[in-house]
């Protein structure tokens, strides 16, 4: 099939449902994400296959896959629908009122320090958008949790999501002045073993500190939440490693001291901060409005 001979009676909303099946990886997942019946999606896909006279999907009990002809068809349809969307957006964008619920997920320290302080201003700019903030210390399934946009720290693994880079947040090894006064200042990574170290109890990879000569630290005190670890450090309980988005202001104000800077490694994957979302979701315009609003306000 060198060209896609699409019958004009195939409607764009049927094509959108087909693309949703591909994006979400199945009929049921697409139906859940779009809040419609599976039968509605199945009818649309069957109609399209009948119109073009060839099978687009290979259906199994666990997943759906594109046929070779279906891959060519989807590529052509995606480009065509994007042109239509762009044309519609150009016409309707001016004066458009964004409204409805926008569900945002992030680790709790990011919500505390980077998002919550700006929600009042966002509400004034978009009074018809209802914000719902959810904090999870691990990676959530956007469909399962009905999340519109998630802020993720570190390297992204899920290629089915659209990602918008928000920036990088450097990691700092920190302790409070009172802890240093009572326990001394570590001058190199080797001396860390003589100190009380605070780490994560639930995500062991976060106990791999970006320090030359040090692999994974063995913490004396652990907590499941980054903000709890920050509070422990502020209270003088020990030395820890945290992202700049939650401790940079503490360092600038002198509440925390940045340690062994000459040994720290910059540019690790853990510094990456991304907003991730399903681009074709009904909330995509609200997601874009939120990302455009919050990105310049972040202090990473």
- Does 1 reside within a domain? no
At residue 282, the pLDDT reads: 64
Per-residue model confidence as pLDDT tens digits over 266-278: 988 889 999 998 8
pLDDT at 298 over 90: yes
- Does 250 reside within a domain? yes
At residue 4, the pLDDT reads: 44
Judge if 175 and 287 occupy the same domain.
no
Judge if 71 and 122 occupy the same domain.
no
Domain count, the chain: 3
- Does 5 reside within a domain? no
Other CB atoms closer than 10 Å to residue 145's CB: what's the count?
Answer: 12
Judge if 35 and 180 occupy the same domain.
no
> Which of 222 and 84 is assigned the larger pLDDT?
222
Phi and psi angles of residue 252, each rounded to the nearest 5 degrees, phi first: -65, -35
- Does 196 reside within a domain? yes
CA distance linking residue 246 with residue 253, whole number of Å: 13
Judge if 261 and 175 occupy the same domain.
yes
CATH number at residue 122: 3.40.190.10
Query: Contact, 238 vs 195, CB < 8 A?
Result: yes
Least confident of 153-167, 210-224, 257-271: 153-167
Compute the Cα dihedral for 241, 243, 248, 250 and give only its sign.
negative
Judge if 186 and 248 occupy the same domain.
yes
Judge if 252 and 239 occupy the same domain.
yes
Judge if 38 and 19 occupy the same domain.
yes
Judge if 238 and 254 occupy the same domain.
yes
Query: Contact, 41 vs 20, CB < 8 A?
Result: yes
Domain span at 257: 171-266
For residues 175-184, average pLDDT: 97
CA distance linking residue 173 with residue 192, whole number of Å: 11
At residue 271, the pLDDT reads: 94
Query: Contact, 201 vs 229, CB < 8 A?
Result: no
Judge if 209 and 281 occupy the same domain.
no
At residue 144, the pLDDT reads: 53
Judge if 248 and 177 occupy the same domain.
yes
At residue 8, the pLDDT reads: 42
For residues 60-79, average pLDDT: 82
CA distance linking residue 112 with residue 275, whole number of Å: 16
């Amino acid at each position: 099939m060198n060209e896609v001979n699409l019958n004009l009676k195939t409607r764009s909303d049927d094509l959108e449902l087909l693309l949703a099946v591909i994006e979400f990886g199945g009929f049921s997942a697409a139906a859940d994400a779009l809040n419609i019946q599976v039968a509605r999606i199945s009818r649309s896909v069957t109609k399209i296959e009948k119109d073009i006279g060839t099978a687009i999907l290979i259906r199994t009990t666990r997943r759906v896959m594109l046929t070779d002809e279906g891959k060519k068809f989807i590529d052509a349809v995606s480009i065509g629908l994007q042109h239509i969307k762009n044309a519609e957006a150009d016409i309707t964008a001016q004066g458009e009122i964004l409204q409805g619920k926008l569900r945002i997920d992030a680790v709790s320290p990011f919500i505390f320090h980077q998002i919550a302080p700006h929600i009042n201003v966002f509400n004034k700019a978009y009074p018809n958008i209802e914000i719902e903030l959810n904090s999870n210390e691990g990676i959530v399934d956007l469909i399962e949790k009905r999340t519109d946009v998630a802020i993720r720290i570190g390297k992204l693994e899920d290629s089915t999501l659209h990602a918008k880079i928000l920036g990088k947040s450097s990691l700092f090894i920190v302790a409070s002045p009172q802890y240093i006064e009572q326990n001394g200042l570590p001058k190199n990574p080797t001396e860390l073993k003589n100190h009380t170290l605070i780490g994560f109890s639930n995500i062991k990879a976060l106990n791999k500190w970006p320090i030359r000569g040090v692999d994974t630290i063995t913490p004396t005190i652990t907590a499941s939440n980054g903000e709890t670890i920050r509070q422990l450090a502020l209270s003088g309980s020990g030395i820890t490693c945290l992202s700049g988005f939650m401790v940079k202001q503490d360092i600038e104000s002198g509440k925390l001291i940045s340690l062994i800077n000459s040994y720290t490694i910059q540019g690790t994957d853990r510094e990456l901060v991304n907003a991730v979302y399903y681009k074709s979701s009904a909330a995509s315009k609200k997601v874009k409005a939120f990302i455009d609003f919050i990105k310049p306000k972040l202090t990473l």
